[in-house]
Amino acid sequence: MQYRTLGRTGIQISSLALGAMNFGRIGRTTQSEATALVDAALDAGINVIDTADMYSAGESEEMVGKAVAGRRDDIVLATKAALPMGDERNHRGASRRWLVTALEDSLRRLGVDDVDLYQIHRWDPSTSDEETLSALTDLQRAGKIRHFGSSTYPAHRIVQAQWAAREHGLSRYVTEQPGYSILQRGVETHVLPVTEEYGLGVLVWSPLASGWLSGAVREGRDITTNRSAFMPDRFDLTLPVNRARLDAVERLAKVADEAGLTMIQLALGFVTAHPAVTAALIGPRTTDHLHAQLAAADTVLSADVLDAVDAIVAPGTDLAAHEKFDTPPSLLEASLRRR
């Protein structure tokens, strides 16, 4: 396992981090299975566990808490808030009112007194940076969070938040968590250069592209990824965007075979090769999945392999741009650009 410094925090973290989104109802993972995943990950040298309050409506945090009981000090524990927790309109977002409550709820579910990294799951356009950063700074000074970061922020919002922290004398985001894979390389254009400029640690999610890069989606075979059950449009091979992805996957599979790598090793080795990336979040549902992904822990891709990947999916290119979560709201809602 490789270890890297998380931004400018001085914290050493493994280049692969355990994502717990599949713990609970989303991944149909039981407590015993979740604990076995945590045990195996820690035994392999992973020291980061990342979850969120909204994963299975809090069930993931509860399972993580039970799995790490008695060994909290050996783990860099991260969670997130801001996405809806129920139908109440104020049980979401990045306001002080909600973040104070959401953090207390997360700490209770996790069974801990503090978390190492508290992340704003998505940018909240209705709340000012000063409001959010002020609340996070106070929670940090109260000893409930050690550091805080953002997740899936557009590049310009990352910059704005850094300037707001400086302007108002507040603590700043020290990490960003963007989606990044061989098939979704758009963050290379603006987000990753910005994180490098500001010295942010970067934890990338979906490096296996929801199963597209795990070997679960291949020409002429049944699709075996769990995600196809609740995101069918992303795997409908009659759609042109998915045919383009499948074509890229088949070409990437040849690159992996010629290099003596699995598709998983190619995919994880690719994202962790980027100098801006600190760690790749993996989200296995079973220990078999975990061991297949752990095989990439020390994978280092040669320049020839990286060049071959670039020839298939050009740098900065998203093969499914409509699936991104950092699109400015004005591009999604006409009223915001037609006042």
Query: What is the largest distance, in Å, between two alpha-carbon atoms of the chain?
Result: 57
Q: What is the CA radius of gyration of the chain?
A: 19
* Vertex 65 angle, CA 133 and 35, to 5°: 135
* Helix (H) or strand (E) segment spanning residue 149: strand 145-151
Task: Report residue 90 as tokens.
Answer: 């104020």
Whole-number Å distance between alpha carbons of 180 and 280: 9
Q: Give how far the C-alpha of residue 75 lies from the chain's centroid of Cα atoms, to the nearest Å.
A: 17
SS3 279: strand
CA dihedral in degrees (323, 327, 329, 331; nearest 10)? -90
**H or E element that contains 76:** strand 76-81
Residues 203 and 50 sit within 8 Å (Cβ to Cβ)? yes
Task: Please tell me the distance from the alpha carbon of residue 146 to that of residue 9, in angstroms, as a whole number.
Answer: 10
Alpha carbon dihedral 166, 188, 225, 48, in 10-degree steps, equals: -40
Q: How far apart are CA 5 and CA 304, in angstroms?
A: 27
Active site residues: 55
